[in-house]
Structure 1
Amino acid sequence: MGGMPIRLTGRRPEVSPDRLLSECVPPPRFSGVRFETYRPDPDEPSQAEALAVLRRRGELLAEPRRERSLWSRLRGSKPAGPEKSGIYLDGGFGVGKTHLLASLWHVSADPKMYCTFVELTNLVGALGMRSAVEALSAYRLICIDEFELDDPGDTVLISRLLGQLVGAGVQLAATSNTLPDKLGEGRFQAIDFLREIQGLSAHFDVRRIDGPDYRHRGLPVAPDPWSDARVEQAAEERPGSSCDHFVDLHHHLAELHPSKYGALLDGVQTVGILDIRELTDENVALRLVVLADRMYDRDIPLVASGIPLDRMFTPAMLKGGYRKKYLRALSRLIALANTGMTDA
């Protein structure tokens, strides 16, 4: 028997900067991937080309970072390495971009860092720009998965951050399904921030990876919602389960910095949510996206009541500027629910 369920809404975790940095590694599902385990599609030559490019960069990054002399820093000369400080993998979902990114991280010398774009912006928000630049400038490589610009503030923030890191000799690698010069389109007036966007783009050698996009195959089927009583019973019976009302949970998320959402799930083995409802507030929806990512990273099953998960985001949201984020969150939440709600 599991006993009394955990209430996420009763938790207010404090996360130290050291913990935030120490957790910047590939999620468990990518801990074992390597270049050797990537299988390029023979019908998509861009996949093999991207693999070859990443392997070559990995050979350079396997060497420890050499500190630049005072003279070279004063002259502004670049450290030895690739012509551009970053490699940018563009392509649809399910073509192996994250596999390649994590493989590059695994072969590279320490110190190195791996995070999603959201985690990077949250990290800068938690540390402050100056402290973040000081901490991250020591890294040999920073890998950024799911690179995306959601608002003008992010554009300016990341433009400043990456510019300073590149100047310090940090190598970058990123994945996205949006070309660097198209970042931000559909979310804000990107034309007003063209200089920052072009500055970001200039740091990267862009490699397109073609292949079938999972969106063409549609989302997995959401399981039928359970009753409130069944969710509560499951939370009581399964060790390490949480159980919270949907409204209480998203109100609680609004009071926490998103960098703490991972710590919120410490020790949780199943997440139970009561009375899931359709979301009408984009801010609430985006917080749920971050929580879904942290649950997915940790492979935490979900049990839920209320409306089916595939109706949580409105049709307008699924057609809007954050469409890709919501589709990714739905795919992940449905996968976690199919595990949690068929393992009864």
Structure 2
Amino acid sequence: MPIRLTERRPEVSPDRLLSECVPPPRFSDVRFGTYRPDPSEPSQSEALAVLRERGAVLAEPRRERSLWSRLRGSRPEPTGKPGLYLDGGFGVGKTHLLASLWHESTGPKMYCTFVELTNLVGALGMRPAVEALSAYRLICIDEFELDDPGDTVLISRLLGQLVEAGVQLAATSNTLPDKLGEGRFQAIDFLREIQGLAAHFDARRIDGPDYRHRGLPVAPEPLTDERVEQVTAELPGASCDHFVDLYRHLAELHPSKYGALLDGVEAVGITDIRELTDENVALRLVVLADRLYDRDIPLLAGGVPLDRMFSPDMLKGGYRKKYLRAVSRLIALAREGAGQPN
């Protein structure tokens, strides 16, 4: 019998949340040398050069803040703004570069998604979070995004205190830092916080098509529900859940637990995928899609094609980029599940 994700209710301690703040398995072996810039997109080579330069400084031992260390000529921390911000579309290698910077740097260092960072602060509390994270030399934040005013104020306060503590930052996003929050809430009301966040970063644009879909069909043909159930019943460590049951179950779990929900799962089957119209349901599935992609878990999908999972209205709204990222990642996982090359 396949695993039922809907029967799992994992508990995740703050210590586990901190210990898991490393690049996901999909990016555990990437390095600057494995990044292949598109020759027709010069911004990719330019971003690689900037990240390599920052990585060369962070690869050196951290400079002690003392007169003796300055007299001794220790290599300084990176000059200029404390943060690098990689802005660009889906599948242009931003996460590859971010993880490569983390691998290149000496510790202590931390790697997380924006959602994982906000979840961590929620689990620890602001003051303990600042105390814990101030010890890091570098914090890499993937998929930086502001979804609501609460996140805006929280992250503005957190990063401001970390920068004051001397922490270096690096982030990826699909939105320029001074445009965060647009179309999602009244960003103009939080302009000071957004501008304060933007001031911490040197933004670098990376252009290009999504490498996962270059020359490939938009989405693989869905499997029949019967086929999904049959294959997952035969695969060791596979799960199988009905789409509606799964998203209802996700509503009962904090998003910080979605990763633990997948512990020991080797493949995920979902039957009867339907077009979504509820924003709350859709955003939870975006987080689940990210955790699946982080862990490189193949997907066996029945129902509507994955590129039709989010309604046309959703793909025109404020969360459009999040939904498109999720579709991109789910299609890549579904092609793995179907045994097709990506």
Task: Tell me the TM-score normalised to structure 1 length.
Answer: 0.90
Name 2:32's counterpart in structure 1.
35
- Choose which of 190, 193, 198 in structure 1 pairs with 2:195: 198
Deviation at 1:328, TM superposition (A): 1.1
Give a deviation string over 1:184-216, Cα, whole Å, max 9, x none: 111111111100000001101122223346699
When structure 1 is superposed on structure 2, of 107-116 and 117-126 the one drifting more is: 117-126
Deviation at 1:342, TM superposition (A): 4.5
SS at 2:240's partner residue?
strand
Alignment of 1:177-256 (within 5 A): 177-212=174-209, 220-256=217-253
Give the residue type in structure 2 aligned to 1:305. Answer: G
Name 1:286's counterpart in structure 2.
283
Gaps of 5+ in 1: 70-78
Give the residue type in structure 2 aligned to 1:304. Answer: A
Name 2:161's counterpart in structure 1.
164
Cα distance in 2 between the residues matched to 1:179 and 1:206: 7
Name 2:129's counterpart in structure 1.
132
Deviation at 1:246, TM superposition (A): 1.3
Name 2:314's counterpart in structure 1.
317
**2:166 is the alignment partner of 1:141:** no
Cα distance in 1 between the residues matched to 2:208 and 2:230: 43
Cα distance in 2 between the residues matched to 1:30 and 1:189: 35
SS at 2:221's partner residue?
coil
Alignment of 1:78-97 (within 5 A): 80-97=77-94
Cα distance in 2 between the residues matched to 1:38 and 1:217: 16
Name 1:44's counterpart in structure 2.
41
Name 1:113's counterpart in structure 2.
110
Cα distance in 1 between the residues matched to 2:197 and 2:331: 34
Name 1:62's counterpart in structure 2.
59
Cα distance in 1 between the residues matched to 2:312 and 2:211: 19
Give the residue type in structure 1 aligned to 2:284. Answer: R
Cα distance in 1 between the residues matched to 2:300 and 2:209: 30
Distance 1:237 1:41, change over 3 A: closer
When structure 1 is superposed on structure 2, of 32-41 and 233-242 the one drifting more is: 32-41
Would you say the 8 A contact 1:223–1:308 is kept in 2? yes
When structure 1 is superposed on structure 2, of 79-88 and 319-328 the one drifting more is: 79-88
Would you say the 8 A contact 1:57–1:82 is kept in 2? no
Name 1:150's counterpart in structure 2.
147
Give a deviation string over 1:80-131, Cα, whole Å, max 9, x none: 5422111111222333222221111111111101111122122222222222
Cα distance in 2 between the residues matched to 1:55 and 1:144: 17
Alignment of 1:317-336 (within 5 A): 317-336=314-333
Deviation at 1:59, TM superposition (A): 2.0
Name 2:256's counterpart in structure 1.
259
Give a deviation string over 1:118-167, Cα, whole Å, max 9, x none: 22122222222222212111101001112111111111111011011111
Cα distance in 1 between the residues matched to 2:288 and 2:326: 9
Distance 1:47 1:308, change over 3 A: closer
Name 2:301's counterpart in structure 1.
304
Give the residue type in structure 2 aligned to 1:243. Answer: C
Name 2:96's counterpart in structure 1.
99
Distance 1:311 1:81, change over 3 A: closer
Name 1:22's counterpart in structure 2.
19
Would you say the 8 A contact 1:220–1:335 is kept in 2? no
Cα distance in 1 between the residues matched to 2:218 and 2:205: 30
Deviation at 1:219, TM superposition (A): 8.1
Would you say the 8 A contact 2:90–2:325 is kept in 1? no
Cα distance in 2 between the residues matched to 1:17 and 1:124: 9
Identity of aligned residues (%): 86
Gaps of 5+ in 2: 67-75
SS at 1:278's partner residue?
coil
SS at 2:158's partner residue?
helix
RMSD over aligned Cα atoms: 2.3
Give a deviation string over 1:33-55, Cα, whole Å, max 9, x none: 22222233444333333222222
SS at 1:114's partner residue?
strand
Cα distance in 2 between the residues matched to 1:225 and 1:212: 24
Cα distance in 2 between the residues matched to 1:92 and 1:44: 13
Distance 1:80 1:31, change over 3 A: closer
Cα distance in 2 between the residues matched to 1:319 and 1:338: 26
Give the residue type in structure 2 aligned to 1:251. Answer: R
SS at 2:170's partner residue?
strand
Give the residue type in structure 1 aligned to 2:201. Answer: F
Distance 1:218 1:256, change over 3 A: farther
